[in-house]
Copies of this chain bind each other. A is one copy, B any other.
Amino acid sequence: MSKNAPKKTTKKEIILDKASVMFREKGFSATSMRDLAESVGIEAASLYNHIQSKSQILQEIVFRAADDCNQHLEKLTTENASCTTKIESIIRFHVQMMMNRFEDYHVMTHEWIHLSEPHLSSFISQRRNYVQQLEAIVEECIQKKEFKTIIPYVAVLTILSAVRGLEFWHRSQKKITPAELEENMVTHLISGLKK
């Protein structure tokens, strides 16, 4: 504290990260502010100097993960790649999110239901929008005869859900490397779609 150099990890970030771990382990509702405070190393009341409410913590965790997904997709749509390559990129991105941002990704996919309004509606509409954009890419693959005829919505759900399932891998012994995992996922999911 002797210098005014900007600290990269603020106390608020520490709280969010600890909360992300606990929300994944026990769920949002089963995690108390006292549990969280203990994990951070302060009293429960002191948390409120850095955050406004338990609900706000969930919002920040969910949307910082959702924003990353949206940014990746936005960048991808400007790229000059084939639609099949785009789908593959999306699979790889989500597998990597699951690896590198495990806690946040899990909280986003499992605890979003506990968001309060208007954030709940906002999240649902963002997610629907995201899924629809993926559907459009799958649709393009079908029309270009790169994919077999399949319902795009079902294909997108299958891909996104399959990635979510990697949480079990994450908890297990990890005899499989992330790279192996990524290749296996792409193989199974993409070749199931190709003609």
Contacts and interface: CB of A to CB of B under 8 A. Distances in A.
A150 B110 CA distance: 28
A14 interface: no
Contacts of A114: 27, 30
Chain A interface main SS type: helix
A176 B151 contact: yes
User: Which of A28, A153, A187, A192 has most B Cβ within 10 Å?
Assistant: A192
Nearest to A172: B153
Nearest to A184: B154
A73 B91 CA distance: 30
A193 interface: yes
Interface of A: 26-30, 110, 113-114, 148, 150-151, 153-155, 157-158, 160-166, 168-169, 176, 180-181, 184-185, 187-193
7 contacts: A26-B113, A27-B28, A110-B110, A148-B187, A154-B181, A158-B162, A192-B192
